[in-house]
Amino acid sequence: MGKDNVFDSLVKDLSSEERRKMIEKLDENIHISREPLDLRVENEVVQTIEQEYKALFWLDKFIVFFKSLFLAKDKLEITKKIVIKRIARQVSQISPEFFDIKNHAITGEFCNLIIDLSNSVDFIRNPLTVCFEIDKNQFYSLMGQLEFPQIHQELSQNINPWEHSSRHPSQDIHSIRRNLTENLEACLSKISREDRLKMMEMTRTLNHMYQLSTYPFKQIVSQFPDSVDGTLMSASFSGLSSPLTELGSILKSFINPPSLKLLEAVFLLYYSLAGRNTGDSLEDLVSQGISRCDTLFEKIREFNKSVPFSDLLKVINEDPFFQISDRSGGEDWFYFFRQYWQDALNEQFRLFNREKVLEEAGNELLRYWDLNSLSFINGYGPTEKSAIFSYSMASLNTFFLHNYQKKLYYPMKIILVDGNFYKKSNRDEYDKMFQVLVKIGDRIKWFENSLLPDGDSGRKMRDVSHEFKDDKAESDRQIMKLKIGVNRDALMVLEDSLHCLFTMGKLMNGIVLGNGGSYDTLSNFSELGGRNNEELRQSVTEAADDIHKISHSLQDIINLEKEKMEEYIKEMNEQ
């Protein structure tokens, strides 16, 4: 892929076999209870008030009759109050320490229970936020990697344009793209509808867990005032109706705990993006996170067992038929998974296409010069990921060795020595640019020598490797910084050379065309070279064409490689 898969990036120091063993070890050593989170089943049979009235004992019906007669109230309204009182007694019997039904209040002990639940859920908020708000596509991809490792492997292998191109060298770029798209669809089709639904249910479960982690428990806690001795006093039903209804909706929807693999994905992504601030291994951090989740799930079970939420909300809302609504949540996992791999293919193909454009730009120059290969700088070739400006440096080096020195130098030297410019400014600029052009070879050689083991850059990288030999991550970061410096050195050589070539191109075109503009011809152009003047004039014309060709081609190559430079620096900053 254009950039590493998040899990591959996370454990890039491990081999494929070590990664597999790590996941297997996590699966073997970590266990979470699969018991439902709500162990107490409440009676949720919905009846009408008429049915409730008919179900009353004859004595209750007699009481209802007399109350309706003397209070001038509807008997069904009185029945509703009787049913609510009955439910209130049931709630009080289940948890008498939490509910003061007589005073329509909830005790401070219930608030302590809420605080305990809030404290237990706090730790999972950041990991879930990373999953749901920072990079959802990556998270769903990681879920797919853990659930369908074989399909993940096939996707990684079958949408790689470089590998496909090496197996089918005769295919053009459009055929390669079409084949890779077909490979992607073929791999994705192996995920059955049943598996897609299962994964969607997993995202629903995790979404409800995320809703619980972001629930504002302070809305409940703030309703309980402190007493003089520091204990929490009771809070009235009226202030708790709305926040408890919201919490009840979340808990009702959060029926089953997430699977082990789902929790593995959460913590793997979290420690990938948020980093590790301790010396603990990745395996230990994931294990600790899942163990805390298991403790949280047990807290939720205890809370649900202690608090008859459905009946409590009926009492608080004074509605015997009040129903806790189910929370929405859960997304089409397959949509995001597919989008991730389509984006990955697009990104890979963008990088592949850019490399092909660079390669073709180099080949076009070779055809122009009638050469077989570019003269790449030793230690700075296209196979080196960090050699950002490899093609532009190779193009400049090839131009200098095979075109400038062998073909352009002679006619340009004659102009330098014997040419009479009409304009003094042209003469001054030509003298200056000629000296810069002559020294391009020296600057290229200096750059190449700096990369040698005993060169300036080579020595610095060796020193960094020695200094941070016990900290590979820091060593990699420092070496990457040095390599960025190497690329900036290359860019400086290129931009100075490019400025020289464009200026010299204008000067040479002025000499050839003689239009009398800012860059004019020579007063003795028809006399230079003596009897060989015609041949010299032809050489000067070809030199002007050659400089025009290399300057514009080099500009295009440098612009593409500057994009690579920006991406390389961004990658370093993200490490």
Give per-residue pLDDT as tens, 427-483: 999 999 999 999 999 999 999 999 999 999 999 999 998 888 888 888 888 899 999
Average pLDDT over residues 231-253: 91
Cα–Cα dist 6/130, whole Å: 13
Dihedral angle sign, alpha carbons of residues 419, 421, 426, 428: positive
Name the residue among 564, 119, 572, 506 with its Cα closest to residue 303: 119
Cα–Cα dist 161/159, whole Å: 6
List pLDDT tens digits, range 349-390. 999 999 999 999 999 999 999 999 999 999 999 988 899 999
Q: What pLDDT does residue 477 have? A: 86
Cα–Cα dist 304/330, whole Å: 22
Q: What pLDDT does residue 62 have? A: 67
Cα–Cα dist 334/148, whole Å: 12
11: pLDDT confidence band, cut at 50, 70 and 90? very low
Cα distances (Å, whole numbers) of residue 10 to 5, 180, 217: 8, 26, 34
67: pLDDT confidence band, cut at 50, 70 and 90? low
Average pLDDT over residues 547-552: 96
Q: Return mean pLDDT, the chain.
A: 86
Q: Where are the domains of the chain?
A: 6-148+191-216+236-330, 371-574
Per-residue pLDDT at 276 exceeds 90 = no
Cα–Cα dist 1/560, whole Å: 19
What type of residue sits at position 437? L
310: pLDDT confidence band, cut at 50, 70 and 90? confident
Cα–Cα dist 470/450, whole Å: 26
| Token pair for 146 | 């853990």
Per-residue pLDDT at 240 exceeds 60 = yes
Alpha helices in 122-172 (DSSP H): 125-129, 136-147, 149-158, 161-167
DSSP string, 496-535: HHHHHHHHHHHHHHHHHH---SSS--BTTTTTTTGGGHHH
Average pLDDT over residues 161-176: 91
279: pLDDT confidence band, cut at 50, 70 and 90? low
CB atoms within 10 A of CB 226: 10
Cα distances (Å, whole numbers) of residue 326 to 245, 250, 321, 331, 375: 11, 7, 15, 15, 68
Per-residue pLDDT at 9 exceeds 60 = no
